[in-house]
A and B are shown apart, each in its own frame.
Chain A
Amino acid sequence: MSNAGQKTVDEALAREFGLTADEYGNVLSIMGRTPSLTELGIFSVMWSEHCSYKSSRVWLKTLPTTAPWVIHGPGENAGVVDIGQGLAAIFKMESHNHPSFIEPYQGAATGVGGILRDVFTMGARPVANLNALRFGDPANPQTRRIVDGVVRGVGGYGNCVGVPTVGGEVNFHPSYDGNPLVNAMTVGVARQDRIFLSAAAGLGNPVIYVGSSTGRDGIHGATMSSSEFDEDALAKRPTVQVGDPFVEKLLIEACLELMATDAIVAIQDMGAAGLTSSSVEMAGKGGVGIDLDLDAVPQRERGMSAYEMMLSESQERMLMVLRPDRTDVARTIFEKWELEFAVIGHLTDTGRIVVRHKGAVEADIPLAPLADQAPLYHRPTAPSPAPAPLGPVTDPVGTERALMHLIGSPDIASRAWVYNQYDSTVGGQTVRRPGSADAAIVKIDDTSIGLALTTDCTPRYCRADARTGGAQAVAEAWRNITATGARPLAVTDNLNFGNPEKPEVMGQFAAAIEGMGDACRALDFPVVSGNVSLYNETRTPDGTTTAILPTPAIGGLGVLEDVSQAIGYGMQDDCDLILVGETRGELGQSLWLREIHGREDGAPPVVDLAAERANGDFVRAHILGGDIVACHDVSDGGVLVGLAEMVMAGGVGCTLVAPQSGMRPEAFWFGEDQARYIVAVRKGETFLSAAQAAGIAARPLGESGGDGLTLPQGGTISIARLRSAHEAFFPALMDR
């Protein structure tokens, strides 16, 4: 067997490739000989954290993944749920954190490209993108550069492929200084009877490569994203992957055109570890063997070795198994779209992957043990100490000043600077754009169906108490969907954590998953797809390592049978304003505490899942019944920030009544108690009695009207003043 590489394969090289001594020992016993360089490469990427989920798998298994409306849960390229009328929503979220630190524009752009492929590979036309972003301290000079590149990259790719970017979130925290998070989510729609899976089948069937040609891009990206960053990371980086959204757009159209025929047996995008993971997974899932002939692979660069081709992460490529008699139909379609189309192999009954290049066998690996004997770790977990409850705090600034400060603070300030760089209307189906509703609403063309989409996570809660934080992230996504009138169906997740070899990080991970699972079960909101990103740490020159805040980002999807029933949070004139849900005045981990006192402590707000469900079901029923004309969930910054957001979005003011008696004003106005909604209704009395009859806590907040926000003690803040405070942060940071 030729060993195209110059390097000797041994344990030291295996370690360089990210395998442990034990893992390498396992490779030797599976192979019964020293593997070739290409074989070692294949093992190392397939057994990397990124592809094998070796640290997370045991925990992921505990998440609820089923419901009557779930068509495909985790395990496929993306999750699939029934949205009615014979249609399915197909969606997933994925991270591109490490690449976005190295090259923010391309890192973010290729992140969007990758998640799009996961969705259209299943037969769905992508209808919406979202993006959950976490950046370092705004005061850190690097932050500005990273924000600029990431936002341009997300927009640059999404705008060009013509999928509207309709929502997302942005947080800032110093823990992300050397390790920003870029989590991209795509939602697509397909007919339920035309969903494509990746399990290969049919002895002798051709294996087809389509899309862009292969270069030496991002070799070992998968193993890199599975190890923490050190000061050498920037120097060691592989050739950065550059995205070509134009080719992606052609690939979407060509694949969907081919999918309208009966040519495809199986299809899979080439994501991390490109040709290796796609071919191994397709063959593995189908229980067949696969022979690849690398001479046939379209190549962008001269002299590429088998190792390089198998590990390249060049973008915009897909692998398909076709019915042999339909190969020409497929070729014609891809030629029309001016994309590469090459038969690079066929299926066998050997149960092995055999890779040939220039007349030599470069790899010959049994597929079953490659999958079954992939490492699986029960890593030790250490619980984080329970946060001390927040003691008494003073209010040094008063209600009005605190409000003005909060609405201009980094985590609450208007995100318009970000989402105005994203085409949110292309497709002509965007019913609610960013900044107008708690979840974006996208209509399905030619139907009355609307999808409600959101991403949520409050990492500061997760750090204080990961279990509560995990549950809160799911609950907030559910609440955001509910607040539009939609019925929450399912979630995708992106679990961003530090180094899993540290017991305290693994403890956070485990607890967050437990919390998520609790919430998903209580809310009938199963997890249908997701992604894990570990080793999000930065090693500083003095040798200390800092982990990011635990960030289990949740992407939620809900459905409206009649999209015209969707509502937003823009304040409407002449309404009574009512707060649904109980207020205890929880200031622990609140933004008020952080922004006014500079403190990040106390326990996060309690997540009462029964109350969450009861309050949400009540609110949704009254939205669909037409009683509620505007609705906003209460989250970061509490009730008063929520009211100010409604006023700014609707351009209609409000006059507020005194807070709950017996509660300090700052606790009432800025506490972040969960399970609450601010609703605007035409008939306050009727609504309040309905709430009482249903056993739902509800209290009047005031009424809408006028062109300012009038506080109970009398001061009125004009809408113009609110807006200028709200809108200043991003331009001041970015447009210097």
Chain B
Amino acid sequence: MKAGIVVFPGTNRERDMAIALKRVTGQAPAMLWHRDTTLPKLDLIVLPGGFSHGDYLRCGAMAAHAPLMAEVRAFAAAGGHILGVCNGFQILTEAQILPGALLRNANLRFLSQDCHLRVERADTAFTRLWAKGDVFRTPMAHGDGNYVADPATIERLEGEGRVAFRYARPDGTVAADDQAHNPNGSLNAIAGVFSENLRICGMMPHPEDLVDPLMGGEDGKPLFAGLVEALGR
């Protein structure tokens, strides 16, 4: 699997992502600069976390207009696999590659803590090493992770099975109005969504920061290992 990580001015979790990808693929991903206008041949594009353009105006708004995003869009249209994490998810929604938007956390504070995610379907490249209903722990670190979309969009996402992950209690139960376990107040406790073709996944938490027992566990590793399985080493 040849992966490329897009770096925008202000991106700050590209290194975490590179470490995680290298851990599972054995090879360093390509680092792509936002102003580039061509893509190398890739199996996976990752939009990593951080504060692209300082998160000024709206998180991800300015990055969504970066020159390289035209290539990312074309890559998506051609059926490529894209993972957007945290700011990367925000960029994908701002670029309208994924539906919905991410508002300020309900308590208006930046939240850096572990959360638990429930896997909503296991037949995608991102989730194939889990079973539907599995719960895994992952760090989150964001101020704007409160997922919203209009009712019609939500209905469609739910109906088409495009919710990738939900915030959950460790036992797998989901309670959208329980602030301890849906910490940012997301609609239907949505933590991540898929594109229609299930090849693009955006999520707020950071599985890439939990792929090493030294850092407290490997709970996030199946996501990356699954991608390698699906897209080839």
Contact = CB atoms under 8 A, between A and B. Distances in A.
A564 interface: yes
Contact of B54 (A246, A337, A735): A246
A428 B209 contact: yes
A245 B54 contact: yes
Contacts of A261: none
Contacts of A245: 51, 54
Interface stretch (B7-15, B73-81, B196-204): B7-15
A509 interface: no
A425 B51 contact: no
A540 B112 CA distance: 39
A646 B67 CA distance: 51
Nearest to A563: B214
Contacts of B139: 425
Given A244-B54, A429-B215, A161 B110 contact: no
A427 interface: yes
Nearest to B208: A428
B19 A421 contact: no
Contact of A426 (B16, B55, B111, B212): B16
A426 B12 contact: yes
Nearest to B211: A428
A246 B10 contact: yes
A427 B112 contact: no
A423 B141 contact: yes
Nearest to B16: A428
B233 interface: no
Contact of B214 (A249, A426, A433, A564): A564
Interface string A463-494: 00000000000000000000000000000000
For chain B, give the interface size range. 20 to 34
A160 B51 contact: yes
Contacts of B141: 159, 423-426
Contacts of A161: 12
A460 interface: no
B78 to A, nearest CB: 29
B113 A445 contact: no
A656 to B, nearest CB: 28
B214 A421 contact: no
A160 B55 contact: yes
A420 B54 contact: no
A443 interface: yes
Contact of A155 (B49, B110, B215): B110
Interface string A418-457: 0111111111111101000000000101000000000000
Contacts of B208: 428
A250 interface: yes
Contacts of A246: 9-10, 51, 53-56
Contacts of B215: 425, 428-431, 443
Interface in B129-170: 139, 141, 143
Contacts, number: 92
A249 B9 CA distance: 8
B54 A445 contact: no
Contacts of B96: none
Nearest to A163: B12
Contacts of B15: 427-428, 445
B109 to A, nearest CB: 6
A295 interface: no
Nearest to B183: A420
A130 B212 CA distance: 24
Contact of B110 (A244, A421, A429): A421
A152 B15 CA distance: 25
Interface string B102-113: 000001011111
A78 to B, nearest CB: 21
Interface centre among A244, A245, A247, A420 (most CB of B within 10 A): A420
A424 B209 CA distance: 11
B16 A427 contact: yes
B126 to A, nearest CB: 19
A250 B112 CA distance: 23
Contacts of B206: 425
Contacts of B112: 159, 419-425
Interface in B185-206: 206
A145 B9 CA distance: 32
A161 B139 CA distance: 18
Interface in B62-115: 107, 109-113
B50 interface: yes
B96 to A, nearest CB: 24
A428 B12 CA distance: 11
B20 interface: yes
A161 B11 CA distance: 9
B8 to A, nearest CB: 11
A419 B215 CA distance: 17
A262 interface: no
A443 B212 CA distance: 12
A231 interface: no
Contacts of B212: 428
Interface in A225-278: 244-247, 249-250
Contacts of B209: 425-426, 428
Contacts of A425: 16, 112, 139, 141, 206, 209, 215
A351 interface: no
A338 B208 CA distance: 29
Interface of A: 152, 155-156, 159-162, 244-247, 249-250, 337-338, 416, 419-431, 433, 443, 445, 563-564, 735
Given A152-B109, A427-B15, 14 more contacts: A152-B110, A160-B54, A249-B54, A337-B9, A423-B110, A423-B141, A425-B141, A426-B13, A428-B15, A428-B20, A428-B215, A433-B216, A445-B15, A735-B107
14 contacts: A246-B51, A246-B56, A249-B10, A249-B54, A250-B10, A337-B9, A416-B113, A421-B111, A426-B13, A428-B16, A428-B20, A428-B215, A431-B214, A563-B214
